[in-house]
Amino acid sequence: MRPRVTQDPLLRSEAAPPHAPFVRSRRMSAVWSDLPADPGLQLSRQESERGPYVGTPPPRRGPRRWAEHNGLDALLRELHAGFGPQRWWPAHTPFEVLVGAVLTQNTAWTNVEKALANLRAADALTPARILNTGASELREALRPSGYFNAKTRKLQELSRWYLEYGGLEALRTRPLERVRDDLLAVWGVGPETADSILCYAAGRPSVVVDAYTRRVLSRHGWCDATAPYDELRTWLAERLVAQQWILEEFHALFVRVGYHNCKPTARCESCPATAPRR
């Protein structure tokens, strides 16, 4: 089933559940409508030095403990002391987190920002507007992020799924692992993308693993950098303190240290954390 076109966007089956998908008539043109009062399209009121962000605001005092693993706890404590609160994910709305999570695949965030600026200038940063934008125009907007042909289709597929699934409210309220499995079934959505969406856009306790995570953990001798994604995700979930802000801040801090210090050639001398023992 597909979202109904704008000719009758609010018509739903009376027997349908609260998050029932809209239906698009085959006799009508493919014009899509955003879900009414979707919290995923509400502008964030939270600001960082970079601009608006979507996520849990930092507490007034740092946590007494970040992780049950002593080494990981000490590392996060030092990174937070050195870098400060990250106020992550950079986005104007929760749905923009979904878009950014797709666009950041295989590229630097600076390129993602250029593509997001293009989408914003084209007024194409809602699921319906992405679907209503011509493919050639969408590809041109996404060009700075690289792999723009594939990412055009990925955003279209994810936007369609988002509308059919029931929007952000469904992502927030349905059973976590079920939503994650459903996200992973969307073309172009892998584990890192799914967990980023769940953790930041939906505010769910889903640990994000990326290349920086693998590098930092392996250099400290805690995990094998080539271990399967879900193995690393489980290792972290079992050791990080289960507070939403900690799960979000952990990933943001690892991105920060990975980008600036824990590069393929490590820059430990400028890192705020204690260097791994050799």
Q: Encode pLDDT of 179-218 as tens digits.
A: 999 999 999 999 999 999 999 999 999 999 999 999 999 9
Write out the residue limits of the CATH 1.10.1670 domain(s) in the chain.
70-89+207-270
Residues 144 and 122: their CA atoms lie apart, in Å, by 15
The CATH superfamily holding the domain 94-201 is Hypothetical protein; domain 2 (1.10.340.30)
Binned at pLDDT 50, 70 and 90, residue 62 comes out as confident
Residues 191 and 182: their CA atoms lie apart, in Å, by 11
Tens digit of each residue's pLDDT (9 = 90 or more) over 249-261:
999 999 999 999 9
Residues 142 and 52: their CA atoms lie apart, in Å, by 21
Write out the residue limits of the CATH 1.10.340.30 domain(s) in the chain.
94-201
Query: What are the structure tokens assigned to 38, written together?
Result: 């979707």
Residues 243 and 117: their CA atoms lie apart, in Å, by 32
Over the chain, what is the mean pLDDT?
A: 90
Q: Whose CA is closest to 74, among 190, 220, 251?
A: 220
Query: What are the structure tokens assigned to 46, written together?
Result: 């939270």
User: How far is Cα of residue 7 from the mean position of the Cα atoms in its chain?
Assistant: 32
Q: Is the pTM of this model over 0.85?
A: yes
Residues 67 and 243: their CA atoms lie apart, in Å, by 10
Structural contact between residues 37 and 183, judged by C-beta atoms closer than 8 angstroms: no
CATH class of this structure's domain 70-89+207-270: mainly alpha
Question: Which amino acid is it at 237?
Answer: A
Token pair 């559940």 in the structure block, residue:
17
